Amino acid sequence: MLAQLLKNEIRPVTGIRQINRENSHRLLPVRCNVTGRDPGSFVKEAQKLLTEEVDLPPEYHIEWGGQFELQQAANKRLAIIIPITLFVVLLMLYGLFNSMKNVLLVMLNIPLALVGGVMALFFFGGILSIPSSIGFIALFGIALTDGLVLISRFEHLRKTGLKLKEAVIEGSLSKLRPVLMTTITTAFGLLPLILSGGVGSEIQRPLAIVVVGGLISSTILTLIVLPTLYLKFSKEPSIS
């Protein structure tokens, strides 16, 4: 009798199993995974399509979160931190060399490294994300160190009495091995991250690609461009 009663009274009902609320408003999350492109361009295109094709009631609104929200917040912080850091580095270099020419030559390593990082990211089909941005920051630090070592060696040799051309040649040869060792050891250390494809590779791989690609271009151009520009824009001390 009870079984028959329950059978007649209970009816299957479909509906929302969970109601989410945020700031006293009902929240309906829609989740998706973006692959093959950066979240910023995906959200921009999605916002355009929603504006053109979807008419929301007045009490409804859309908020974009997840990785896109984190990336936007990180970009705002980096837009403040990076210029301040570069300015502090510039002041420290000027205090070391007391020459704006040498400071600019060292800072030239940043665009030289940037070329390789961007090309490597494009070649491997990567996107500009938070990990790749962190990779660029690490890359700039290593590139600035290489330039600082080379210019400091030139200045030291000139103070010992060597002529400009001799100091550049001797300094480039003496610092060739340390610069190459830095590049090779870093590249081989990050190579497993580039070849990885397991859990966490989406974070580690872009960072490693940027650093290795940037170091290759920075090392080659540093050992060629930097001594050439130093030789061109420096002058032999006048003998009175």
Q: What is the DSSP string of 22-51?
A: ETTEEE--------SS-HHHHHHHHHHHHH
Query: Is the model's pLDDT at 1 over the cut of 50?
Result: no
How far is Cα 94 from Cα 99, in angstroms, rounded to an integer? 6
Q: pLDDT of 89-105, one tens digit each?
A: 889 888 888 888 888 88
Query: Is the model's pLDDT at 59 over the cut of 70?
Result: yes
At residue 14, the pLDDT reads 61
How far is Cα 72 from Cα 52, in angstroms, rounded to an integer? 24
Could you give the 3-state DSSP secondary structure of residue 172?
helix
Q: pLDDT of 150-162, one tens digit each?
A: 899 898 888 888 8
pLDDT band at 237 (very low <50, low <70, confident <90, very high): low
How far is Cα 229 from Cα 33, in angstroms, rounded to an integer? 47
In a 13 Å sphere around the CA of 87, the CA atoms on its Cβ side amount to 6
At residue 2, the pLDDT reads 41
Structure tokens at 188: 């081989």
Q: What is the mean pLDDT of the chain?
A: 80
pTM, full prediction = 0.73
Query: Is the model's pLDDT at 232 over the cut of 80?
Result: yes
pLDDT top residue among 74 and 19: 74
The predicted model gives 49-67 an average pLDDT of: 79
Query: Is the model's pLDDT at 203 over the cut of 80?
Result: no
Query: Is the model's pLDDT at 41 over the cut of 60?
Result: yes
Choose the weakest-confidence range: 21-30, 164-173, 182-191, 211-220.
21-30
Pick the CATH number of 66-233 from 1.20.1640.10, 3.40.50.300, 3.40.190.170, 1.10.10.1200: 1.20.1640.10
pLDDT top residue among 13 and 132: 132
CA 94 to chain CA centroid, nearest Å: 26
At residue 200, the pLDDT reads 62
Query: Is the model's pLDDT at 238 over the cut of 80?
Result: no
The predicted model gives 46-51 an average pLDDT of: 82
